[in-house]
Structure 1
Amino acid sequence: MKLYSPMFLWFLLLIPILILMYILKQKYEEREIPSLFLWQQVLAETEASTPFEKFRNNLLFFLQLLALLLAIFALASPFINIGSKNFENVIIVIDNSGSMSAVGEKDTRLEEAEKKAEDMVKGLSSDSRITLVSASKNSKVELSGSTDRKEVINKIKDIKPTNSAGDINDTYSLIKSICNSYNSYKVVYYTDSDVNLKEINGEVVSLAIPKENVSLDYISQSKDNDYLKVMVRVTNHGNETNSEILLYGEEKLLDIKNVDIKSGETKTIYFDKVQTKDRFLKCELSQKDALDEDNVIYSIVKQKDGSKVLMSSNQNVFLEKAISTIKDIELFKTNPGEAINGDYDLYIFDGKLPNSLPKKGNILIINPEQNNEYFSVSSERDGGKGNVLSHAVTKYMDKSSFVVSKVKNIEVPSWGSTIIKVGDNNAAFCGEVKGQKVGAIAFDLHNSDMPLTPEFPIFINNLMSYMLNRDTVSGTQYYTGENIEVIPQPEANKIWMKTPYNDNIDLGTKYPLKPFDEAYKPGIYEIHQKIDKNEQTKLIAVNFPTSESDTSKNFASKNSQKDGGELSKSGINLTNILLALALLVLLIEWFAYVRIHGR
């Protein structure tokens, strides 16, 4: 046994004080006696009142002394080792990836892992420093080198399921770097996956208990005249079973299919001639199993195609590179003077203009050579420092600083707004006329250092969003735990995400917009952007990753411990036990006092 707070043993000095209190305590009792023959008895009682004679049959004193000793030793934090080594540093790694949401023996695997970790922490010596790491798609150090048991246990309880794909072995580099800073350490993994400990001094507490599970892995739909054809892929990770697959249009039941599926089999189910105008589809398994999160899958009915942009230019590497980084734009290129075939959402003319400008689709003109039907332009003149004016297209560019060597002046039409001035020249404008958006930049980008500034990609992103009314997300299908990239509209003054659990999370409007990283629950997420009095809403479907659905695995390697390993049985802290015994002794002393003096 070891005492981790021996300084509290100074409280043993209270014992002589307790004894002294009993010695100094005097108690007299008057009695009437009928005869002098009783003086001999009085003398005997007087001898019994000498100080140490009081303790012969004084039960209350010994009970109080025992309670005091128990309390003092409890404060000294006694710890009993149970035949194992204590480590100065303990690193706890808890897997909170998708498969840990599956049911274990009673609760989910993650809940059972947290309970086992808490029990282990309670059994560690008081001077052990504990580092806590959660492991899913990304590893996170929740706590480092703490000796506060309460803090550690609270942090363990705070670890939530991410439902994301993850490999516990991806934590190796992080754990190894932590271990290299310690002389004495032990790593304990709580996971349902196999762990390669390599050169780490560690053990694995396995939560892998084979369970029955059927998962919905994939959903897609295609247009078939006025109907939808929906395809769903389902996999059985357990024994042969029969289940119903329910297809919903939002919350309205559209169709039901029965499926018999063998162990380990994957089947593709088709729903033909689905008639719906709902914004999204949902497929659900009627039968419950070990992992509920993969029993439902969502798909967004196509809202908008990606934008097609045609750029007519001899060579403008700056512009081409900036546009090609925008995910939802498909860029086509042609040389000036070539015939234009097909329809595009945006036409970009760099330098030479065609004889006739398109009547459909939006138009961006760069370094125009002559007047056109939308605006007039002067001949080229000396430039100067660029001045950015306030507009949705120039949002987040207030710190921009660039110089233009040669520039032309644009006579901005009444329906347009100047966005860049160079000296007294209107160097860029944009606007809308008869439902067609038109923009112009009155200088060659090669005659300016603007493409070299950090604000240039922001300017092009804003300009493309304005000219194309771009979607707010680059994709509509994500897995839980993945970051959702949101494309802010330059005119938006408020952007927020509505989650399946009806939380509204403000995303801010500062560029670049931070990706949304809290999609831990499958379902439909709504991105809202408020533009003046109008509001845009776009839907995205977040589904459980199929890589986490196999709950039939059982990793029982030589490193694994079913109920916890060496550290989880390392010892017992007697503090709480001794305090409980001290309280029990005081209760016994109180009952004894009532019994003796209550007669």
Structure 2
Amino acid sequence: LEKALMLSGNKTVDKVTPKDLEAAKTDEYNLIVYDGIVPDEFPDTGNIIFINPGIAKESPGWQQEVFIFKDSTNHNQNNKQGKAVLVKAVKCDVTEYIEDYSFSCLDVTGFDTPAWASSFFNTGKGLSAGYIGNYNGRMVAVTGFDLHNTDFPLQTEFPIFMYNLLRKTMSVQIIEKTVYNAGEAVGIQKKKQAEEAAVTKPDGTKEIYSLGSGMAVFTDTLDAGLYYVEEGDDRMYFTVSFPEDESDVSKETLITSDKNTKTETSKTASKNISKKMIVMPVLALLLVLLMAEWHIYRKRL
């Protein structure tokens, strides 16, 4: 994991032992990784990855929101199963390109996925073995197993998984991308402590959305143009355009001066038709040449 962080291009990667955890100044880092431990207080800044967290029976309020056990009576030692478990990838951004991957692991902790998160690893019993989401303006990821208890880090899928995980947790963007198709929903993530997000449309009108649940969804993207989202002092722009297959209109209806309508083929459609008219004769010519070559070859034999 430490090597993966260094290879990801981070300027500073510091390793701290559990005994020095309280003295460490976590507010200086964009990403904090807790391997096998859970702090008493939730850090004020930075995104967080919890690997194989050890949970006490009597835990603070924030731990009950981040770590949710579905049925602790079916597990031993803090919900650990103590046996080999098949872990399957769940299709999402974190498992991009490894959606069909599965691996065996010892001592897997099964969680119920919190409302603010989405699962990326599941166990055969339907419990989550890994999830990620926006918790109070920060990206938080949790994996319920020790990387030393599985051969997953030795597989070719592991670097892909780590790249996707670090890409999601190294920073929190208000919106995922900057270009959307008309009619496509835009997910707005809560960043820092912002309670509301304002979306300004191309015509200048503004809509306000609550971020109480950690995110909001903006769906009024029928108009093409430049939009921007504001959360506190942060602003992010995005554009909405029509898909190419919809923008290439084959016909246009015109109203003439005598109030009659006239339908004309657009330039884009004409170009497409012209391309088809050129391609078909070329294909036919190639077929004739191949047949002639085959005929000559038969004669030589």
TM-score w.r.t. the length of structure 2 is 0.49
Higher-RCO chain (CA-CA 8 Å, sequence separation at least 6):
1
